[in-house]
Amino acid sequence: MRKKTNVELKSKRKTRIKKILVYATFVGPALLFFLTIQIVPFIMGIYYSFTSWNGVSSVVEWVGLDNYIKIFTDDSKFFHSFLFTTKFMFASVLISNIIGLGLALLLNMALKTKNILRTVFFIPNVIGGLLLGFIWQFIFIKGFASIGDLTGLSFFNQPWLGDEVTAFWGIVIVFAWQISGYMMIIYIAALQGLDKNVLDAARIDGASSFGMLTRIIIPLILPAFTICFFLTISMAFKIFDLNISLTGGGPFNSTESVAINIYQEAFQNNRYGLGSAKSILFFIVVAIFTTVQVMVTKKKEVEA
């Protein structure tokens, strides 16, 4: 009995080691890259936020909370960029999700060209932000001006990237155009997972299309809203490449996002410590926004 028990223990031990090796083989490289690219730089960023390092010198001077005090007492430009980014986030999240849901509802119907249209609407999401920004810069400056000259419509003759208000909405338009296709895919997946018997029963009971959408479809796909809101909020807050290629933060820094402000502080002004402090504060704010959003929408899911 003892020999049999020892053999069983050895066999279990070998099986456990094999499982650990399999997990290490598949998960290990991803975990290593995550630690190297995400966690280690994040910890280093926290450390540098308490220093006056310029990003180049080998001398790193510890200054404690001086960087954070400076941000709150003597950096109105940072708070202006934060205000712009917050306004941009609310506008772009609302518009992107409305367009994404609308496209999903449309392409969930029995259309012959729905697969082609899904690809067409998703393509902008795979184009890089820098390239997309330069393309739309040409459209706003040259394309809209030509359409305005041909049609005489004042809408197209506005200084789209030369005025604070129109530049703001120009960035929102491009961001929504880029990201709506991605949201559309998530909403389509949620719509295809609905129980058709429930929808058919609602139709038989005489429910209108609008009533079905607001009282049945939307409550049932609330998990998709949770995901889409989380993604769009985080993407909108972190906007950088699209912003810098489209307006460069202009005119007169009126469309400067927080990411651009941090980049300029750290790499153009050579104040890496102060830039790191701003990035840590930015991380905390984004984490609070996304956490509150997930908690609220998750609670709505349970209630639904």
Give dist(CA 75, CA 97) in Å, integer. Answer: 33
Report the length, in residues, of the chain. 304
> Is the separation of the CB atoms in 158 and 145 below 8 Å?
no
Q: How far is CA 271 from CA 82, 107, 276, in A?
A: 19, 49, 9
Single pTM value for the model = 0.86
- Residue where the block lists tokens 């393309």: 135
> Which is it for the CA torsion 237, 298, 210, 109, positive or negative?
positive
- Angle (CA) 168-187-139 rounded to 5° is 30
> Is the separation of the CB atoms in 291 and 234 below 8 Å?
no
pLDDT (tens, 9 = 90+) of the chain, 304 residues, equals 455 566 677 777 778 888 888 888 888 888 888 888 889 999 999 999 999 998 888 888 999 899 999 999 988 899 999 999 999 999 999 999 999 999 999 988 877 888 888 888 999 888 888 888 889 999 988 888 888 888 888 888 888 888 889 999 999 999 999 999 999 999 999 998 888 888 888 888 787 888 888 888 888 889 999 999 999 999 999 999 889 988 888 888 889 999 999 999 998 888 999 999 999 999 999 999 999 998 988 887 755 4
DSSP of 83-146, one letter per residue?
A: HHHHHHHHHHHHHHHHHHHHHHHHHTS--TTHHHHHHHHHHHHHS-HHHHHHHHHHIIIIIHHH
- Residue where the block lists tokens 């941090």: 262
What pLDDT, on the 0 to 100 scale, is given for residue 57?
A: 83
HEC letters along 140-184: HHHHHHHHHHHHCCCCCCCCCCCCHHHHHHHHHHHHHHHHHHHHH
What pLDDT, on the 0 to 100 scale, is given for residue 23?
A: 83
Q: How far is CA 86 from CA 9, 91, 278, in A?
A: 59, 9, 15
